[in-house]
Every structure is written in structure tokens, then in C-alpha cells.
Structure 1
Amino acid sequence: MIAEKPALTILLCSPRGFCAGVVRAIDAVEQALKIYGPPVYVRHEIVHNKYVVENLKSKGAIFVEELDEVPETRAPVIFSAHGVAKSVPSAAASRNLFAIDATCPLVTKVHREAEIHHKRGREIVLVGHRGHPEVIGTMGQLPDGAVSLIETVADVAAFTPSNPDALAYVTQTTLSVDDTRDIVEALKVRFPSIVGPHKEDICYATTNRQEAVKAVAPRVEAFIVVGAPNSSNSQRLREVAERSGCLISELVQRASDIDWNRFGALKSLGVAAGASAPEILVEEILDAFAERYAITVETVSTADESVFFPLPKDLRENDMRKIAEDVAR
């Protein structure tokens, strides 16, 4: 006699998964492959997800960390959604590489804000995580020393600006909303004249996904965030779930990564996906639980998303013929 599966209620967060910037970046690589054929070179992971990267590799994309890994070529070289320092497109231009910038427009917004503040004589404070590609790219928009990185409230207390009355702050787009709020408040208390962005830098997708996790986490025994370990927004979702009262909170890339010793005896589970995680991986996780449980899936929605970003100009349909002719010359 086959044992009856235990019941499991899964609360599925919405919004989840791909944001408009990620869709644009992936589409940029696929469109470049369609127009020019392989290979298409991509500097850094186009988005932080192994499944996405491997899928694009299978179609002819070649991923490199630095431009010096790209041979002399007329093939497109695409910059990732995280953005790059100004030195990168300059280096590409010096080699006459056909560079296409797939930086998320919301990251570009932060770059432009930092440049404007610098032109107005302000020292820039960047709230973010050291070593993250987006932070490296943002700091690389300005001369060395023009941007100071702040990671924690403790860093605010230790920070000594050149002129406390001429400060501005910008933030990485994929941070914890709550952590960033605490850091910004500390900056404002210590430096009352500090200037902030007209509109919050943390992107809509980061905020929406964190709000969905906050709504679900207190209602479940365990939580899975589908995403990569090097994905900042995915890591923040796991932290948000834990802080919201769900002590079993794990970041999982694939169903094969699930530790069934931790997730083996449940009645309720929350599932979310980082902004660079495709829906097919969410479905894979749900299928893995369906093999072990009689699952009931309930979607918990906290926001509707309709944001769309057009492809980089060099890849838009009405520009394709002219670009292809130019490259062929």
C-alpha cells in the first residue's frame, strides 16, 4: 500500500523572479545572437544566475570577466546589467570593439545622480556592498576618492568627510530596504545637510519582492528563496524572511540543492525568487515538493508590476539592418 503524502501548504510570493532590467539584459544577449550570430561576448555574468548563464552559453555567448579576455573581434561585446566603470567602455573603444551596454536603466540612474552631485562639488557617499559589480561600476563613474563606500550604520559613525556640508548619498539598487533606511537615517542625523536622490535608488523590484516576503514569512514554518549565492537581491530576500520570523530560511539555486533534513517535516512553506531567477526554477522547486507532499499552492500578491525597459538602442528592431551593414563593412 502506497503511503499517503503529508499535506503541505505553499505560499508563493508575488511579485517574484525576473525584473524588467534582467529581462532587458537577457534579451540583449539573445537579440545580439539573433542578429550577428555567435559568438557574442559578455563581460561578467549578464545576470547573477547560473541557469541563465549556462543557457546563453549553449546558444553561443562567451562570458569573460575582463575585456582583455576578448580577442580582436567584430563580434558584439555586451556589458552586464550591473553596470561598469567608465574605464571599461573607454577600453572597449580604444580597441574598436563593438560594445553594447545592457546596464539596467535604474543603475544608470544612480550613475547619473553621482555625476551630477560631483559636478556640484559634493562628496559622494555610496551605500552598498564592497566588491559587488554594481558598486564597482558606480564608484568607477568618478575619479578615485570622489566616492566613499558605507556598508553599515557603524561605518557612518566612523566616516570623516572632507566637508560635512557638501555631501550627497546614492545607494546600490539591490539592498535591504530596512538596512538601507537605517543607514540613511544615521547619515541624516550625523550630516543634516546631506543631499539624497529625488527618488529612492533601491529599485522597484527589490522593494516589491521584499514586501512580498515580509507578508509571507510570518505565516510559514520555512522559507525558500530561489536564487544564486552571488545575487545581492536574492541574499537580501533570505535575510528578510529570517528577520520576519521564519528561522528556517534558505537560498536555493536548484531543486537538487534542497536539504531535505531541514525541509523534510513541514506543514507550510514560503517560496520567493530573486530578480535574476527564472520562473522555470521556481516550478522545479515546487515539483520537488510535490513529489514528497500533497501540496496546495496559494499565491500571495503584494504589488502589480508593469515596468518595461526597451532594448539597448543598438539592438532595437528598426536599427538592426543599419547596424548589421555597418559591422559588415
Structure 2
Amino acid sequence: MGNPRKFFDRRDFLRATAGTTVALAAASVTGAAATSASAATRLSIPRDRIAIQLYSVRDKVTSLGFAVVLAELARIGYQEIEFAGYTQNTSILGRQITLQEIRRLLDDNGLRAVGSHVGLGNLRGNLQAELDAAEILGMPHLGTASAPSNTNTVSAYLAAAEEFNTWGRAASARGIKLYQHNHAGEFAFATDQPSVRLYDVFLKNTDPRHVYLEMDVYWAFAGQFRFPGFEPADYVRDQPYRYPLFHMKDGIANPARGDGYDMVDFGAGNMPYEKFVRDIGPRDTHVGIWEHDGGPNAQPNPPGSLGAAERSFNGLTELLA
């Protein structure tokens, strides 16, 4: 098989965002790009956009319910919520909570829904219902943490890109941005073309007008450890408008581990986040979302995962100060 098709290259992306890029170019021509030292060092992820992926506190959502958990997250200081399901223990209300009730809890606590992770099966067979849920909750993004394909070939990733383009057009028609969240495996090389990185196939063949990316920075660095030859920040700097969301989770380097890191509370690790948030460029509209895959195992418990959420919020706030 030859090189993967390239439906959307950098020129396509620039055409898709022509109004913004023209404005940026004009600003550069007039000298606005060098107006002050503060502009040059402004971080891309605003401090008042710190969010949490509820998967990190999934045990508390199940046992305590959305009302308790959302109130506690608002107290800690989180501004936005990324969902990982919309259910809690039915014993809390005597029935399952509704989307409308979750929306009221968000509003009552001054929180905004920023996105949600759903399975590929939901996108294939229940897309409009998932978009309905996004509209009820007021979220501007809907995504999946599933790999585009479980088959690591160029042809499989090209087929996956076609699927995402279809779903993305449907989401755009409803005013919602569809996104894919990476793990380390997406940065592997194709088994049928060992010089081709799978993530590049997906990125280049999805329509930048309709398909977006949520970079999980931890897993991107784990991908770099396993499949060297790229810098995570380069992807964002090259196409910043495709990355509205980041997962910000921290790790301690551990070369003996398969992925190269041990996941820890944010601020307790040594991943190069300070360099990353500067290297991606000062766009100022990305959302930083804290996540810890093993949050329910956090000690001491109580507070458990909610304690990890508070420690990590403080770590993120310090990074973005």
C-alpha cells in the first residue's frame, strides 16, 4: 500500500479557519505579536478554565451522587465538568437521575459542562440521542476516549477517519464539536506501514471543520516514550484550533514501566508541563481538564478521589498562575 491519503493537509486547515488566521496574520504584520513581554508569555490554558473529568471521581459520583460531588467540586474551585456517564446509585433518589436534574445541579453550583466521553458504539448507533444529551447539559463538545480503531493499520485508520468525519458533520449541524481523546497507542506506527504513525493518519484525514482532538498530555508523553520521534506540543502548535481540550494528568518518570511513567496527583510528578503549556502557544482558549485514571484508589480515603481532586486543582492552579 502506498502513502495514506491526505484529504486534509495544513492548507485545508488554514482555509477552514481562514477568518481567524487572516486576522492573526494582520495582527502580526502590524506588530501586535511583539507588543509586550506579558503577551509573549501568556499561557494557552486560562487559569479560570480548569475542569475535571468525572471519571477521576467515579466512585463518589456512584455512591454519593451528582448533587454532593458537584457541590464539592465547585467548592474546590473547578469551573467546568467533563462527563463520563450520566448515572448514579438509584438508592439516592429512589430512581435514576435525569439529564435535566443534572443540568440544574450544574447551574445551581455555577458549573459548566464542557464535554463528555461516550463509546464508539454510542456514536455509531445513538449519535442523535448523545447530541440531545449534550444540548440538555449545555456542553459545546462531545467526544470519545476510544481509539479510532483497534486495528493498527493505515487502512483501518483511514476508515475510522471517514466515520469520524460523518459523525463530526452531524455534530456540527447541532452546533457541537466532536472530539477524540488519545491514549498512548494512537502514536504507534502502522503494522502495514512501519514508517507511518497512526495518529498522523487520523489527524490528516479528518476534516478540521468537524473533527477535533482532546490531547491527553500524560498519554501523549507515554506515547513518546513508547514510540519516539514526536513532540506532543508540536501537534497543538501546528493546528491549535483542533485542540480545544486537554487532559492534564501528571506522572513520575519510571523507565521500568511499560508506558514510562507512574500516574500521580497533578503537581506531584515531573512531567514537563511548564514547558508544554508555553510551547503550544498563547491562544488562551484551551480548557485544561484534570484526570487521574486511578482516582478512586487515592489515599487517605476519605476523602479519597475527592482529596486527589483538590490536591490536583491546587497543582494545576499553581502551574497556570
Q: With structure 1 as the length reference, what TM-score do the two structures score?
A: 0.31
Q: With structure 2 as the length reference, what TM-score do the two structures score?
A: 0.32
Whose RCO is larger (CA < 8 A, sep 6+)? 1
Identify the structure with the greater strand proportion: 1
Identify the structure with the greater helix proportion: 2
**Bigger Rg over Cα:** 1
